């Protein structure tokens, strides 16, 4: 059920579920000029409350009216629950296709938390896929400096999603700077990240051995003339000798036999 009314601009409060946090000043100024010349072409949408009205859709138009010091504005008054109002606000902004990706991600997160929904339920209510919702929310895990680069148009959200596989915030910031400086596209970024991760995994696997074991390794290498690897776990371990031919195998066996005879 709805009706059209002329409402005092000062009686209207902004939508607490509005996903858009930033409003372009140039767009607002252009809208103000349009309203002055042509009037309001489309009423805003509000919900009546005990102390006035709450915006559901049309915040740019409402802001333009406030800036022009106009006293009243035409509005469609609708009856809506908090859930319906929140859903409507998100969908209305998504349809404009110029919502900041992080504003969009924050709106999904707040929507889920407020209504106690999981990603699948959120996707169904908003007409999105679960993977799309998940990928958007993941962007919020990026460091603030990288979020700023995306908002400034220096990186894309695809760059951001690729960087998130690194986990370490400092690594993400360092590589994001390189992407901007060296103008990498997403595929170049993916290749670098894969190589970077492989290097870090290899470094993680390498554990510096205690000095006494390292000294024994070096001593045996010199004496036997081959690579020696001592692996110790607790009180147990292994001594691994390397050979690359039958002749080298026989030489090592002979050396070990002579050591045993000593």
Is pTM beyond 0.85? Reply is no
Tokens of 11: 């009686």
Tens digits of residue pLDDT in 107-152: 898 888 888 999 999 999 888 999 999 999 999 999 999 999 998 8
Alpha-carbon distance 84 to 167, whole Å?
36
Alpha-carbon distance 18 to 40, whole Å?
21
Q: Report the sign of the C-alpha dihedral through residues 125, 128, 130, 135, in that order.
A: negative
Tell me what pLDDT residue 73 has: 94
The per-residue pLDDT string of the chain (262 residues; one tens digit each, 9 = 90 and over) reads 678 889 999 999 988 777 676 777 888 888 899 999 888 888 999 988 888 899 988 888 999 999 999 999 999 998 888 888 888 878 877 766 567 888 888 889 888 888 899 999 999 988 899 999 999 999 999 999 999 999 889 999 999 999 999 988 989 999 999 999 999 999 999 999 999 888 877 766 656 678 888 888 888 888 888 888 888 777 788 888 888 788 888 888 888 887 755 5
Active-site choice (5, 59, 84, 104): 59
Under the phi-then-psi rule, with left for phi > 0, alpha for psi from -120 to 50, and beta for the rest, what region is 195?
A: alpha
Residue with the two structure tokens 């290749």: 191
Tell me what pLDDT residue 163 has: 95
Contact by Cβ (8 Å): 114, 103: no
Residues of the chain with CATH 3.90.1530.10: 2-99
Q: Report the sign of the C-alpha dihedral through residues 91, 93, 97, 102, in that order.
A: negative
Which CATH class for the 2-99 domain? alpha beta
- Tally of residues, the chain: 262
CA angle centred on 161, ends 159 and 106, rounded to 5°: 115
Tell me what pLDDT residue 261 has: 57
Tens digits of residue pLDDT in 4-22: 889 999 999 988 777 676 7
121 is catalytic: no
Tell me what pLDDT residue 92 has: 75
């Amino acid at each position: 059920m709805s009706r059209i009314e002329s409402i005092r601009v000062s009686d209207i409060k902004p939508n607490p579920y509005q996903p858009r946090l930033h409003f372009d000043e140039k767009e607002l100024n252009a809208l103000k000029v349009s309203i002055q010349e042509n009037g309001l072409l489309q009423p805003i949408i509000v919900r009546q409350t005990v102390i006035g009205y709450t915006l559901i859709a049309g915040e740019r138009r409402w802001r333009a009216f406030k800036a022009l010091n106009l006293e009243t504005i035409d509005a469609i008054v609708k009856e809506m629950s908090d859930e319906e109002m929140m859903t409507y606000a998100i969908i209305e902004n998504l349809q404009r296709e110029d919502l900041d990706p992080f504003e969009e991600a924050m709106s999904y997160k707040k929507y889920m938390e407020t209504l106690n929904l999981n990603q699948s339920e959120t996707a169904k209510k908003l007409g999105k896929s679960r993977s799309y919702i998940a990928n958007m929310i993941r962007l919020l895990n990026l460091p603030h400096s990288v979020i700023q680069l995306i908002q400034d148009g220096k990186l894309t959200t695809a760059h951001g999603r690729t960087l998130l596989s690194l986990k370490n915030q400092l690594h993400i910031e360092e590589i994001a700077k390189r992407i901007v400086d060296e103008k990498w596209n997403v595929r170049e970024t993916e290749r670098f990240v894969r190589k970077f991760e492989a290097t870090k995994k290899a470094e993680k696997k390498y554990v510096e051995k205690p000095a006494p074991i390292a000294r024994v390794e070096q001593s045996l290498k010199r004496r036997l003339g081959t690579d020696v690897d001592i692996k110790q776990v607790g009180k147990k371990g292994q001594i691994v000798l390397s050979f690359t031919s039958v002749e080298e195998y026989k030489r090592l066996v002979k050396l070990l036999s002579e050591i045993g005879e000593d």
